[in-house]
Amino acid sequence: MPDITIKGPDGSFGAYLAVPDATPAPGVVVAQEIFGVNQVMRDICDWLAGEGFLACCPDIFWRIEPGIQLTDRTEAEWARAFELFGLFDVDKGIEDLKVALAHLRDRAECTGKAGSIGYCLGGKLAFLMATRSDADCTVSYYGVGLDELLGEARNITTPLMLHVASKDQFVPPNAQKAIKAGLAGHRQVTLHVYEGQDHAFARLGGEHYDRAAAERANSRTLAHLKRFLAA
């Protein structure tokens, strides 16, 4: 599958594109974790393509350093990942994801329907794609900092699914309580809690990976995407 270049208002940036066997297909923009467009993100795009979606993961760290591909295996890579997280401009990142969404919709391989999915930092961005973009649906895996963004929830007009880890070390209990209360009763929001799971429980090969919880979350995600991105 190819690496492509997407042109945005502030410059061009790279992205990984996975194309399904049958096209045109619905599009999905994948918002990366803090490790860049690494093999984990590329594998997620390939998984989505295998399920019939045109999947694209843009490099949202390009303004800091293009082409970041870290792993979660060494302390040095974790340190660099958190450094990038601290330098990252969320508002600019959302604009890049919106450009990527428009790019997908304009491709001949796409039906015109397109949504977004994100993990960790990308889970936060997926929430913001639900509040700030015209994505047809969104999915957020263990998004960080969502409790600080609840004022935007009134802008959610298309279906959003949230996967929340009950023991998430980066989303403490008080934050989870606020998220649940702030989104309770929202007609467009479905929130699933994975009891006993820590952050990144769906990252294959990660320290906290849990196969049963990951498969349950991924099954729900696919059902959500297929329901709301059908042509």
* Residues annotated as part of the active site: 168, 199
CA distance to 18, 22, 133, 200, 214, per residue, from 50 (Å) = 9, 10, 26, 22, 17
The dihedral over CA atoms of 171, 151, 55, 207, expressed in degrees to the nearest 10, equals: 0
> What tokens were used for 228?
């709301």
CA distance to 170, 172, 193, per residue, from 167 (Å) = 9, 8, 10
